[in-house]
Amino acid sequence: MQSMFSIPLYRFAVPGWPSKKARILAALPEITDKHRSPAGDTFTDFFLNNEGTALPAYKDVVVAAISDCLDEFQQDYPAEVDLSAMWFERSLRSNYHGAHNHGSLGFSAVLFVEFDAVEHRPTRFISPFMGFYAGGLIEYRPEAVSEGTLLMFPAIVLHEVEPNQSDKARTIISFNVRGARQ
């Protein structure tokens, strides 16, 4: 048996994470009601950054923290690694972010900034095609996710944040990398 298609998932452990985490958290804005998503299901600055089209003030801090990871990703990526959007998302108890994708071109990323592997669940990925035997959804939950884990995946892949069942905040930085210009 051979597989006709595969979906890449890049996984990085950000080196020197503890000090980088502190710098990233210090650079993020203080959470207020203006950060509540329109559906009220999480806190984010996505909508304050022109729905993710404007890069936030903390972009340089995040890029500096993950520069080694981006350099490694660049070795495989067929175009310049150009960030087209960035935002944070903080989930408190019962907060979630339903299944969505980030468009049909390029890659998206999730950097786990505040994440308790016992209390939180990592991002759930949903295949762009159904199961071949029973027709159901094919899902993937990465194992051994911890703070400082960076996942990069094709933007078209559906993914979601399941409801936070903890009183601990789950904070991620997400960003998009443009696709190749043809």
Interval 8-52: pLDDT, tens:
999 999 999 999 999 999 999 999 999 999 888 899 999 888 776
- Within a domain: 2: no
User: What percentage of the chain carries pLDDT values higher than 70?
Assistant: 98
Q: What's the CA gap between 157 and 79, in Å, rounded?
A: 19
Q: Residues 71-116: pLDDT tens digits?
A: 999 999 999 999 999 999 999 999 999 999 999 999 999 999 999 9
Residue 93: domain span: 10-177
The answer to whether the CB of 110 falls within 8 A of the CB of 141 is no
- Within a domain: 158: yes
What pLDDT, on the 0 to 100 scale, is given for residue 180?
76
Domain count, the chain: 1
Here the CATH number for the domain that contains residue 65 is 2.60.120.620
- Within a domain: 170: yes
The residues facing 11 across adjacent strands are 151
Q: What's the CA gap between 45 and 37, in Å, rounded?
A: 8
Model confidence band, residue 3 (pLDDT cutoffs 50, 70, 90): confident
- Within a domain: 182: no
Terminal CA-CA length for the chain: 34
Mean pLDDT computed over every residue of the chain? 94
Q: Is the confidence at residue 121, as pLDDT, over 60? A: yes
- Within a domain: 3: no
- Within a domain: 32: yes
- Within a domain: 29: yes
- Within a domain: 155: yes
More confident residue, 179 or 70: 70
Which element (helix H / strand E) includes 59?
A: helix 59-74
What's the 3-state SS for 62-125? HHHHHHHHHHHHHCCCCCCCCEEEEEEEEECCCCCEEEECCCCCCEEEEEEEECCCCCCCCCEE
Q: What's the CA gap between 126 and 121, in Å, rounded?
A: 15
Angle at 89 between CA 143 and CA 116, to 5 degrees: 40
Q: What's the CA gap between 78 and 151, in Å, rounded?
A: 18
